[in-house]
Amino acid sequence: MAELTIDTGSIAEAIRRNLEGFQPEVELAQVGRITEVGDGIARISGLPGAAVNEMLEFENGTIGLALNLDENSIGAVVLGEVDEIEEGQAVRSTGDILSFRWATPFWAGW
Amino acid sequence: MAERSVSYADAVAAVARAEGNLDVVSDELFRVARALEGSDELRMTLSDRQVPAARRQQIVEDLLGGQALETTTAVVSMIVAAGRSSDLVGIAREAVEINARDRGRSVAEVRTAVALTDDQATRLSAALSAATGHQVEIKVIVDPSVMGGVVATIGDEVIDGSVRHRLSQLRDTF
């Protein structure tokens, strides 16, 4: 097999061909940034509208729980794998307060 | 290097070894990484989560399909679909290291202003092997900012014989 060559012309062509007609959906969201992370706790700035017990979504999809609402930052517990959470990553507020849903009432079968 | 890149590279190396083509796959990954480093547009498109994964994978397929091994195309496509394209450069670098280690060699990442001829690459490899005391395999990256000469990085060691470095030293003298 010939040696792999990727030139700028073929890159531009591949991108143009595959993004033709693509319309990204635009949505407005409040996004904060992680300023510090350690011991399963992430400190986040830039989410002034977050509420206590609101679920936050980290860049990799992990959910966090907003607990300490300070004036300039939020302390959130990472409810998942903390190794992939890093300083500088974006965090979105979901608007949802932590809640649980039972498929069947917990008293069923009593 | 990020632990995640090392884990991905280990997995890629395991698959390529099983297919008996780690040598080619690691070299092709290295070339993909160079393309990503050289094109902001490609890097941004492949890491844009707003672009559906299928479109991003098709870009990979268009660029590599028919040119690269199926293993390489599948691996790059999987990494891009997983939203890890920003780790591709690190994964490629680690895969190259693993391949060299398998053969008892070290890898020198060599940056030069212009592409080296086969003869120059062989002589440079021999010179670096003699300087470090172990077999060195070179991976050449053409980087015009070097201006002239070479910058060789072997693990944590950097041998900077570039014109850019000499000019910088000259500037510091005055």
Does residue A109 register a pLDDT over 70?
no
Give the mean model confidence (pLDDT) for residues A61-68. 90
Query: What is the Cα–Cα distance from B165 to B174, expressed in whole angstroms?
Result: 15
Of B28, B35, B59, the CB nearest to A18: B59
**Neighbour-count burial for B59-83, b at 16+ CB within 10 Å, e otherwise:** bbbbbbeebbbebbbbbbbbbbbeb
pLDDT single digits (tens) B105-146: 989 989 998 888 999 999 999 998 998 888 998 999 888 888
- Cβ–Cβ contact B125 with A under 8 A: no
Residues 6+ away with beta carbon under 8 Å from B173? none
Residue A26 binned pLDDT confidence (cut-offs 50, 70, 90): confident
Which ipTM was obtained for this model?
A: 0.72
Give the mean model confidence (pLDDT) for residues A79-104. 83
CB atoms B32 and A10 under 8 Å? no
CB atoms A14 and B63 under 8 Å? yes
Cα dihedral sign, B17-B20-B21-B23: positive
Annotate A6-54 with DSSP letters as a single string. Answer: --HHHHHHHHHHHHTT--PPP----EEEEEEEETTEEEEES-TT--TTE
Q: Which of A13-27, A66-80, B54-68, B74-88 has the lowest mean pLDDT?
A: A13-27
- Cβ–Cβ contact B7 with A under 8 A: no
- To the nearest whole Å, the CA of A16 is away from the closest chain B CA by 9
CB atoms A6 and B35 under 8 Å? yes
pTM of the model: 0.66
Does residue B38 register a pLDDT over 90?
no
Query: In terms of pLDDT, which residue wins out, A2 or A90?
Result: A90
